[in-house]
A and B are shown apart, each in its own frame.
Chain A
C-alpha cells in the first residue's frame, strides 16, 4: 500500500514522514518518532493512556490516524517540561504522589494540560469530569486530583500561561 507524505509539528519541531494511511497516531509517535511517552493501553479508546494534544484538543492517539495529523500540531508528554524544569503538572504529580505504576501518567498529564488551558481554576469536581476519559488502576484518583489542583494553583500564582 502506498505511503502518504505528512508534515506536522511535534513538540514544536517540524517533522516530515511517510506513513501508511492505516498507521495510528500512537504507533507513528512511538515507532517512527521514538516518542514512547504515549502508551498503548486498551486500544479501544477507553483508557486514555495514549492521550496527546492535537491542534489544541486532547485526543486518544490510538483512535486517530497519523494522516489526520497532517498539517497539524502535536504535543506529547515529552514536550511538557522546559529543559530540566518540570512543568507544574509534573511537579504536582511528584509532590502529591499522583502516580504509582506510572502507566496512565503520560495520558493523565496531557489531558490535565489541556484541561487547565481551558479551565485554569477547575473545582475538584471539574477535574474529575475533565479526566473522566483516563483510567488509573492504582491511585483511586485522589492524588491525581490533588496533583492537578497543585499545578493549577502554581500556574495561577505564577501569573497564568503554560
Chain B
C-alpha cells in the first residue's frame, strides 16, 4: 500500500506552519505523529496535496506549569507524557490514559495534539481533557484563540479547528489535593480502540462529592461530556446508589455503533460498567490524597 504523492514541508516555527496552511489551502494536512493519518493515506482514504510536518517545531514540544495550569505542547508524544514527572505528580490522569493508547512504538510517535484534534471518537485523550476541563489553544492567521475541550467536538472527524488553524497547546488545571481522577477503558487487546471507556474527575469533601466531571470515549460520533451524570453526583455521598445513578445517566447519552467490539446493547452496558469503575477509583484516589 502506497500513499498518493504529496509535497513535504518541515517548518521550523508555528508562524511558518500557519503561513503554510494559509498558502497551501484546504488540501494540506498537518503531520504530527502520523499514526492516524498515514494509515488513512495508505488506504487512499486521505490524499492530501501537502504534508506540513510539525515535529521539528520546538515550541510545540514539552510540558510545563504556568499560572496553576499545566501546558502540554501539541507535538508532545505519548511516550514523553508517560516519562513526565510533572504530569505524574500534578495530573496523573493524563499518563494513565496515555498508557492505554496503542502500543509502545505508536506511543513514541503519537502526539497529545494529534490525539485530541483528530476528531475520532475512539481517541482516548478527548474524554480525559473534557473531564479535566482542558482548554485547547488554536493558532490561525488572525492569531490565537482558546477553545474549551467540552466545546471542541462537533461531529465525526469534525471539530472547531479551522482549516487554517493549528492546535499549539493543551492547557489543563493541575489536580487539587481533594480531587481524584481515573480513566478506565475496556478494550479487546493492546492497540484496540475502546469498547467503552470513561474519564472521571471528582472533587471530594470526605465521602461527599462537591463536583464531578464524567466523559466518555467511543460511545457516539464524538467524545461525550456526560453533563447529567456529572451533575447527579454533586452534593451527594459517593456510594453504590449514587454511582449506579450516575452510570445510568451516562448510558442514557451513549449511542455506540454496533461493530466488532459488540452490539449496541453490550457496548452501552459497558459504558455503564466503565463509569461505575472509574467513579469508584476516582473517589478512592481523592480520599487517599
B104 touches A111 (CB 8 A): yes
CA distance A32 to B277 in the complex (A): 51
Q: Tell me the total A-B contact number using a CB cutoff of 8 A.
A: 80
Bound-complex Cα distance A148 to B191 (A):
22
Question: Which of A57, A64, A130 meets B34, CB within 8 Å?
Answer: A64
Interface residues of B in 109-147 (CB under 8 A from A): 109
Which partner residue on chain B sits nearest A56 by CB separation? Answer: B108
CB-based contact A51/B105 at 8 Å = yes
**Neighbour of B106 across the interface among A20, A65, A133, CB < 8 A:** A133
A132 at the interface (CB under 8 A from B): yes
Count residues of A near B (Cβ-Cβ below 8 Å): 29
Query: How many angstroms between the C-alpha atoms of A3 and B31 in the bound complex?
Result: 19
Tell me whether B103 and A68 are in contact (CB under 8 A): no
CA distance A132 to B189 in the complex (A): 9
Tell me which of B1, B55, B104, B191 contacts A46 (CB under 8 A). Answer: B191
Contact between B39 and A22, CB atoms less than 8 A apart = no
Known A-B contacts A1-B5, A21-B51, A130-B104; the reply to A64 vs B109 at CB < 8 A is yes
Give the complex CA separation of A131 and B190 in angstroms.
Answer: 10
Residue B288 lies at the interface, judged by CB distance under 8 Å to chain A:
no
The answer, among A46, A57, A65, A131, for a CB contact under 8 Å with B8, is A65
Q: Which residue of B lies closest to A133 (CB)?
A: B103
The 8 closest A-B pairs by CB, nearest first: A133-B103, A21-B8, A57-B108, A132-B190, A1-B5, A133-B105, A22-B3, A63-B38
Chain A residues with CB under 8 Å of chain B are: 1, 4, 20-22, 24, 27, 43-46, 48, 51, 57-60, 63-65, 67-68, 111, 115, 129-133
Question: Residues of B with Cβ closer than 8 Å to A?
Answer: 1-8, 10, 31, 34-35, 38-39, 41-42, 51, 53, 55, 79, 102-106, 108-109, 190-191
